Amino acid sequence: MSEAKHGKCFCGAVEIAVSGEPKVMGFCHCSSCRSWGAAPVNAFSLWDPQTVKVTKGEDKLATYNKTEASFRKFCKTCGGHVMTDHPKIGLIDVYAATIPDLAFQPQVHIHYGEKVLALHDGLPKFKDVPAEFGGSGVKLPE
């Protein structure tokens, strides 16, 4: 097993540790992630819930869910985004930028049908999400 990697919110009031390796890493282009992150794309890393631990400031962590698919966690002090629990697929998205020592190696683009920024990197691009995560599995051209 690989050594734990550590991350924190913007101000450091909330700290997390992840162990092992993420199930998948990639880019999300959905309008919710774009709006939440104030960015044209979100870099994600999906982890099994038992590999993600809040090591400091759990009482400072707040949750917002626009839908039952995503429970977004952020710091009450600075508003810094930390992670999103996706109960329907049984995984937690720890925003890649939250873990500075994560060797981010994207494997996929999801919700590429909603993109506002085209990325030409040779990675598979799904209209929504792969079938194994409950999506259509429809791939789109670059």
Instruction: Write down all domains in the chain, each with its CATH number in brackets.
Output: 5-140 (2.170.150.70)
Report the alpha-carbon angle 136-140-142, nearest 5.
Answer: 155
Give me the pLDDT at residue 133, please: 87
Give me the pLDDT at residue 3, please: 85
pLDDT tens per residue, the chain (142 residues)?
Answer: 468 999 999 999 999 999 999 999 999 999 999 999 999 999 999 999 999 999 999 999 999 999 999 999 999 999 999 999 999 999 999 999 999 999 999 999 999 999 999 999 999 999 999 998 889 999 999 8
Give me the pLDDT at residue 2, please: 66
Give me the pLDDT at residue 39, please: 96
User: In angstroms, rounded to a whole number, what is the distance separating the alpha carbons of residues 97 and 85?
Assistant: 16
Could you tell me the CA-to-CA distances from 13 to 7, 36, 60, 74, 78 in Å, in that order?
A: 11, 20, 7, 11, 8
